[in-house]
Amino acid sequence: MEHRHMDGVQKNAPKKRKTTWKKDPAAVKEDILTVATEAFAAHGLSGANINEIAEKTSTSKRMIYYYFGDKEGLYRSVLERVYSSLREIEQALNVADLEPIMALRRLTEATFDSHVKNPQFIRLVMIENIHNAEYARKSDVIPTLNKAIIEKLADVCTRGKAAGVLRDDADPLELHWMTSSASFYNVSNKATFTTSFGNRLFTEEGQKRIRNRVVDMVLGAVVIDYLPRKGG
């Protein structure tokens, strides 16, 4: 009971505490995670500020520590949540009954588009890479999440080779690497690329061209006698 700094004069008159509130743990957690996701994606692990996060939630800083332990715990939860939500999108994709080349085209386009649509995810993955993926690696869900897309690509490869339309050195993992690299970079490096070269490739037009280019590159790498369409 040491009010050491209250020498004498009414310093720190206690704010009136809220007299009533509802219990809603799930909503509180969600609220915190939503705000924290934005903060970590914007400023990174060390750059994000717990006090600021707390202010933007409808609850208090104490609750963050109550539910997530510490800053790192909060970050880990954010990471897992955003990884998981993206996996759902990937799993929803159904190309099993398209013919192989069309399936591959669709998968590539879908990957490209989902990257464009989820910049927050991209930023968090960038941040993870800065940290050498140490938090993703600690997670026991994240390392298992991306299997879905690889399986789909593997299926396409198998079918494509059987049909004689894909080169027999086509490899699902390499295919994913190619698609990912283009799709990821397109979002992750937009800022510096624009700084160096202007935004010509990042207008609506430019992005359409790039998207087609990516498809052509990927198909061109594995489809036998692939003929890219002309122009953008």
State CA 201 to chain mean position distance.
Answer: 22
Q: Is position 62 an interface residue for DNA (rule: CB under 7 A)?
A: yes
Q: Is position 3 an interface residue for DNA (rule: CB under 7 A)?
A: yes
Q: Is position 199 an interface residue for DNA (rule: CB under 7 A)?
A: no
Q: Is position 42 an interface residue for DNA (rule: CB under 7 A)?
A: no
Minimum CB separation of residue 1 from a second copy in Å reads 24
Q: Which of 10, 21, 192, 231 binds DNA (CB under 7 A)?
A: 21
Taking the C-alpha atoms of residue 169 and residue 218, their distance in angstroms, rounded to an integer, is: 14
Nearer to a second copy, 28 or 153 (CB): 153
Q: Which of 20, 132, 192, 196 binds DNA (CB under 7 A)?
A: 20
Q: Is position 196 an interface residue for DNA (rule: CB under 7 A)?
A: no
State CA 124 to chain mean position distance.
Answer: 6
Q: Is position 4 an interface residue for DNA (rule: CB under 7 A)?
A: yes
The residues that bridge with 166 in the sheet, in sequence order, are 223
Q: Helix, strand or coil for residue 223?
A: strand
Q: Which of 7, 8, 9, 23 binds DNA (CB under 7 A)?
A: 23
Minimum CB separation of residue 85 from DNA in Å reads 22
